[in-house]
Chain A
Amino acid sequence: MTETMTMAKALNEGMRAALARDSRVLLMGEDIGPLGGVFRVTEGLQAEFGDKRVLDTPLAESGIVGTAIGLAMSGFRPVCEIQFDGFIFPGFDQITSQLAKLTARHEGTLTMPVVIRVPYGGHIGAVEHHQESPEAYFAHTPGLRLLSPATPHDAYWMIQEAIASNDPVMFFEPKSRYWQKGEVDRESAGIATHSSRVVREGTEVTLVGHGAIVSMLLQAAELAAEEGTSVEVVDLRSLSPIDFDPIVASAQKTGRVVVVQEAPGNVSVGSEVAATVAERAFYSLEAPVLRVSGYDTPFPPAKLESVYLPSVDRILDAVDRALAY
């Protein structure tokens, strides 16, 4: 049986289930208690589980991540909320130099089941530091796993997958999708760990993306279909590790791949997808793998975000260029 809910609610329900299942699961972050977080994703959870399970923390991201590490050492499974993408950086040292490495430094005797939730991406017209896509820094860091759901159903299951992981997971939530509704099946078997997924089948061009971009890819595929082009769409869902098999299989079928992301394109997750497709599907390719990304500039003032971010037009332009080879 499925229910219709927003992604924010699906995440809330996923965390509620994890909190109920395991008393060692804790939530911590700025304004996540009575306010329920600035996006209300933790709404009602402190009231239900108490302030010893849902911690409104002091205003310090290094403090949040650093103490989450210590809590994990004492056997807890902390789920941290970072308020906005652009505010993760005060915690960067604790994430990349500590959290990511402690299991290796303990030669496997210590697990680090810490989840760091990061609302990310643009399309909300917000001020500086509130619309960024910093996932590449973390995908580049050995020792971290990265997930990013695109639908409420995936969000419900993937947040639970993240909390169940014994490794640190950076969980990137596409904030512009928080209020989009979708069907969630809470009785399904969940989804395979770190799996990408073909969300629309096609034969001529493959579009690959993650998070908020996925719905844009589906829109582009729809428009391309009207023009007679058959487009396949793959949702990455996991940014580290990347589940390449479905992407490579799709590339072998269509021969043309366009990777789309909001983040700046230079040395990005999309670069990695492009390189791997080139390595593994070289003889099937009819065109070079193309990237459509945010420009390599700071995220601009909001009135320019529609120019900066990939758009359906820019995606279709890349589809045309791929077809023209």
Chain B
Amino acid sequence: MPYTAATVQLLSPEGTLVHSDASEQYLPYVDKLSDDALQEFHRHMVVMRRFDIEAANLQRQGQLALWVPSHGQEAAQVGSALAAKPQDHLFPSYREHVIALMRGVDPITILSMFRGLSHGGWDPKEHSNFHLYTLVIGSQTLHATGYAMGLNLDGLAGTGDPDKDTAVMVYFGDGSTSQGDVSEAMVFAASYQTPQVFFLQNNHWAISVPVSRQSRTPLYLRGEGFGIPSVQIDGNDVLASFAVSKANLDAARAGEGPRFIEALTYRMGAHTTSDDPSKYRDNSELEFWAQRDPITRFDTYLRGRGASQAFFDEIAAEGDDLAADIRKRITELPVPASSTMFDNVYSDPHPLMDAERAALADFEASFEEGN
């Protein structure tokens, strides 16, 4: 049982609001939410899970080389992303597909990476400041901190103007906390009092390695050790994820310095479609977390508030439509021309690129001429 009295939980696994010392300061954020806003949380989580299932199917059918499932982590991701303002910059790791979608990245763009057609390719400026995935564990935490240092230098935090003040949110996993880069990011963030929130999804596993191998202390206390105010939340509670992220992003935007959130959640599926968790973890753990599913509890909560069956049918249909759409479009994606390899290695002209582009073109032409 990873939760303690300090863990912020606003919605219990049974779908009822929790009143506790830890929750009291955050409940007002929830009180302000309309039924429509709450249904929006659910819509994102349900559609995401459907997308995730479809992507895994596509991998099985050979349409994707790999898929990185996010099943079980919907609440941590959706709540925190909905707490961010449009001007905030979000730096993902590689599992935050729903946030990409929420920020306007075409789902097919995400799938293209896993089909082997691109390494990312979207422009964060055009997709609501959602940055590229980073596969090298932990690296993005430093980029986020640097971006936030830039916000400070540009006077974009702590001005009191709600449309101007900006924060950065960076996503990373429990395994990544062992990387030097992640500690260094916290050192810089604390040192320069950056407007940013470190959002750790502790899904309890780094491939086959349990979080106990990475840390003997609850990970949010790491943040405290660096002088960053830190809090642990029930990451399967979308309301806690939203409210705590909102409070901390507000503080960061107001110029109060960095914050650290550890969201306790669980990787319900395999690490990726190449992984076989039966080799290293047992099912009792899975059952514990299945009973704390983020979507089930929120479903109960919404029904208790009187959400209609029509709403649930509608979001299920939206998920199915999205699945059908990606299933169709995935096979229509063109393979980029070979010459694209050379196109953006440098911003300025480079003789080696020109020479190799020409050599490859000649080589390919020699086959076309039937030589």
Contact = CB atoms under 8 A, between A and B. Distances in A.
Contact of B280 (A34, A57, A307): A34
A287 interface: no
Contacts of B65: 125-127, 302
Interface in A245-304: 266, 295-298, 300-304
A38 interface: yes
A63 B139 CA distance: 15
A56 B341 CA distance: 37
B178 A59 contact: yes
A36 B280 CA distance: 10
Given A35-B280, A304-B341, A308-B341, A59 B119 contact: no
Interface residues of A, number: 39
B353 A38 contact: no
A295 B342 contact: yes
A81 interface: no
Contacts of A36: 279
A33 B335 CA distance: 38
A128 B342 contact: no
- Tell which of A30, A63, A89, A301 has the most Cβ of chain B within 10 Å: A301
A127 B178 contact: no
Interface string B58-83: 00000001100000000000000000
Nearest to A302: B116
Contacts of A297: 341-342, 345, 353, 356
A110 B297 CA distance: 60
B336 interface: yes
A301 to B, nearest CB: 5
Contacts of A31: 207-209
B135 A59 contact: no
B14 to A, nearest CB: 34
B5 to A, nearest CB: 28
Nearest to B208: A35
Contacts, number: 111
A53 interface: no
Contacts of A301: 113, 116-119, 336
Contact of A126 (B66, B209, B340, B363): B66
Contacts of A300: 340-341
A184 to B, nearest CB: 26
A183 B74 CA distance: 49
Place the interface of chain B in its size category.
35 or more
A38 B175 CA distance: 16
Contacts of B180: 60, 62-63, 90
Interface in B144-195: 175-176, 178-181
A140 interface: no
Nearest to B281: A34
B114 interface: yes
A304 B336 contact: yes
A141 B260 CA distance: 39
Interface string A96-129: 0000000000000000000000000000011111
B113 A127 contact: yes
B360 A127 contact: no
A58 interface: yes
Contacts of A33: 208
B251 to A, nearest CB: 29
Given A86-B136, A314-B363, A303 B336 contact: yes
A175 B329 CA distance: 32
A59 B336 contact: no
Interface string B329-352: 000000110101110010000001
Contacts of A298: 119, 345
B213 interface: yes
B116 A127 contact: yes
A307 B366 CA distance: 14
Nearest to B115: A303
B16 interface: no
Interface string A123-166: 00111110000000000000000000000000000000000000
- Tell which of B114, B137, B345 has the most Cβ of chain A within 10 Å: B137
Contact of A296 (B179, B279, B353): B353
A273 B269 CA distance: 47
Interface string A56-86: 1111101100000000000000000000001
Contacts of A295: 341-342, 356, 360
A59 B209 contact: yes
Given A59-B175, A59-B214, A297-B356, 10 more contacts: A31-B208, A34-B280, A36-B279, A38-B207, A56-B208, A90-B179, A302-B116, A303-B335, A303-B336, A304-B336
9 contacts: A35-B207, A56-B208, A56-B213, A59-B178, A62-B179, A63-B180, A295-B341, A301-B119, A303-B116
Interface of A: 30-31, 33-36, 38, 56-60, 62-63, 86-87, 89-90, 125-129, 266, 295-298, 300-305, 307-308, 313-314, 317
Can you list the 10 inter-chain pairs with the closest CB atoms, starting with the nearest?
A: A302-B116, A35-B208, A58-B178, A59-B175, A60-B178, A34-B280, A303-B116, A307-B338, A59-B178, A31-B208
